[in-house]
Structure 1
Amino acid sequence: MQELSAKWIELFGSNSDVSSHSVAGIIIRLLAFFFDLVYQLSEKVYYSQYLNTASGVSLDRIAANFGVNRNSATRAIVDLLFTGTPGYVVPSGSLFKTSDDKVYQLGSSVILDTKGTNTGTAYAVELGVDYNVPANTVINQVEVTTDIFSVTNSEPAQGGADDETDAELARRVRLANDTKPSSPVNGVISAVMKVPGVKNVQVILNNTMEPDEYNNPAKSIHVYIDGGEESKISTALFESVAAGILMVGSKETYLTDLSGNPNNHVAFDFAEQQIIYVNVKLSVNTDFELDGLEQVEKAIAEYLDTVKMGGIVRYSYLYKYIYDNVKGIVVADVKIGDEVNNLSMADVHLKQFATAKSTNESMVITKDGI
């Protein structure tokens, strides 16, 4: 606006009135408003060509140049164990839920055996990572029948994922640029990271003829993975680990190769989820929004998602995430720990094959003593 005002005076004389209430001043400010929009657009166009600054569709196009596509949200899958009247058929499409009303739909009919038990696979009715619920939580019938005595999931639900964020996509693009699918170790990481929902991968390769410090057998590879669907992970490992290398882990399956051989052994382990307890006391001002406490929870969860498997949860980093993402905070007092009764202003070292996890119960956030 100053440049436009100076140019106006240069063209029409030093006596020109360019104040905000003059005709010239109004025209200048109107032009400045639209020029500002053009400059903002130009800046966005300029930064959209770089991986570190691109966002949205622009980032999708950069990722496509590396053969990487943004992962869409996916449904969680869970195996349900039924107990009930022998011979009873649990109809396909039956609904079951957790105590907090996360609903799952049975994929196909299940016939209870002579002992009155059997298992079936159910799918979350909605997309998202929130449906990756722990074991023994899908225990309620939506439409109750007396022929089903009980239902539960002996294993956690898996495979649910939210739409991939810009930060997550950019991270995968960098990884794809650094490592190409080959075998092992970087190629295995690259291949598994392409599976929707996978956040972290750690590979333990034992090249010796003796068991290693983790008791992995000789000439073996043990892959630990955070997130993702078991069947898709197994396929990624099968396609990236070279023949002749023994895969180790509690999640085992056998896949068929192109020659028709169905005896190709694939194994891995999901990472342990280490609960991080967080206590935050806030002093706020009038800029603090009504959902400010939820914003703080989200900021904490976003930081924990960035901590690598076996890494260190830096308590000081939480201050940056809280102050940068939540308005109206004057002072934040943060304490963390891996035990609910042992919180302090100190970093938390994760276990070797564990990732940081938070829950509604593990985070206590208060403002001004409330």
Structure 2
Amino acid sequence: MKSLVSSFDVKTLEETCPFHPDTHLIQSKYGNALARGTVQAKSMEAGYAENVMPNTIIVAENVVGGFYAVTNLDSATGGSDAETDEQLRNRILVNNRHVPSETKSGIETAIKNIAGVTDSRLIANNTMQDDSYGNPPKSCHLYVIGGDDTEIATTYFNHLTPVSTTVGKISVEVLDIAKKPVEIKFDRAKTVPIYIDVVLTVDDTQFNADSAPETIKKNILSYLSLLTMGSDVLFSQLFAPAYSVSGVKNVQIKLGTSQDSMSENDISVDQFELPVSSRDLISIEVRS
């Protein structure tokens, strides 16, 4: 699957701005009037490696006249490697247990069946009071990883009960059976960056310094790509990728959610957060 950025920020000269009327006038450092628009962006390539951190997509590959700057305000999420046979079997089992319907599990299954969606979680507050998350009475709060906003909103609406109130920062208008607009709200899962420091003691006669570090990073990211919302990052699971190449004699690993919080412990995240990493967040030091 290709990764998706929900909030991709584009700044352009005011007179060439294609985002009217949803613009916010600002100025460049040279005093030129600029306009800002926020759009969705999808990666050109598929794979977990396309899930990058916020503010890392900052170079426009094909420069268009009048464009000033671009950046991704959110992490790119939803990118995944080719589905394995085991993952396919598990997905079929889930679909058989929870058929798309108006139930909590049914709505989650319907959303997960959308192309590009890798996970979804729904909080259904069926009480007459605010719940512990701050959701209002008789409301549904959907969290999603990957997928297109409009397709998510449409599928969500088609499986909601008529009296449901939706909650979230993303708002999309869909049409009901009478062709009247209905506002559907939901949220993207918050991403938590995972920094990983690996120190390898190696046998120089067997260790390939040119390719081995990249192979280790790839294998670490393969493990992380299997994590879903609320998954713990298990410290012990990172040793197998580190030992996956020839010539490694000893491995030391630390991980954290920032460079200042590195430790030899598991990392826990909130049930609606997604732990993510990238090659840039994985450091590998090689010692003889």
Alignment correspondent of 1:296? 216
- 1:33-48 to structure 2, matched below 5 A, reads none
| CA contact 1:193–1:201 (8 Å) conserved in 2 | yes
Identical amino acids, percent of aligned pairs: 26
CA RMSD in angstroms comes to: 3.1
Alignment correspondent of 2:192? 274
- 1:10-159 to structure 2, matched below 5 A, reads 73-74=1-2, 76=4, 79-84=8-13, 86=15, 88=16, 117=35, 119=37, 126-129=44-47, 130-131=49-50, 133-142=52-61, 148=66, 150-153=68-71, 155-156=73-74
Structure 1: runs of 5 or more not aligned: 1-72, 91-108
**Residue-by-residue CA offset, 1:253-302 (whole Å, 9 max, x unaligned):** 12113332222x32111111111121111223444444111111112112
Q: 2:10 corresponds to which letter in structure 1?
A: L
Secondary structure, aligned partner of 1:349: coil
The reply on whether 1:335 has 2:257 as its aligned counterpart is no
Q: 1:84 corresponds to which letter in structure 2?
A: L
* 1:217 aligned residue (136, 151, 164): 136
Alignment correspondent of 1:259? 178
Q: 1:305 corresponds to which letter in structure 2?
A: S
The reply on whether 1:352 has 2:268 as its aligned counterpart is no
Aligned residues: 274
- 1:311-322 to structure 2, matched below 5 A, reads 311-322=231-242
Shift of 1:75: 6.9
Structure 2: runs of 5 or more not aligned: 26-32
Secondary structure, aligned partner of 2:191: strand
Q: Which has the larger radius of gyration?
A: 1
Separation in 1, partners of 2:39, 2:91: 30
**Residue-by-residue CA offset, 1:190-229 (whole Å, 9 max, x unaligned):** 1111123322222212111100111000111111122222
Secondary structure, aligned partner of 2:11: strand
Q: 1:117 corresponds to which letter in structure 2?
A: A
Higher helix share: 1
Higher strand share: 2
| CA contact 1:234–1:253 (8 Å) conserved in 2 | yes
Shift of 1:180: 0.6
Q: Give the alignment's TM-score, normalised by structure 1.
A: 0.64
* Cα 1:321/1:158, change in 2 over 3 Å: closer
Higher relative contact order (Cα pairs below 8 Å, separated by 6+ residues): 2
Secondary structure, aligned partner of 2:230: coil
* Cα 1:243/1:180, change in 2 over 3 Å: same
Separation in 1, partners of 2:127, 2:247: 56
* Cα 1:235/1:333, change in 2 over 3 Å: same
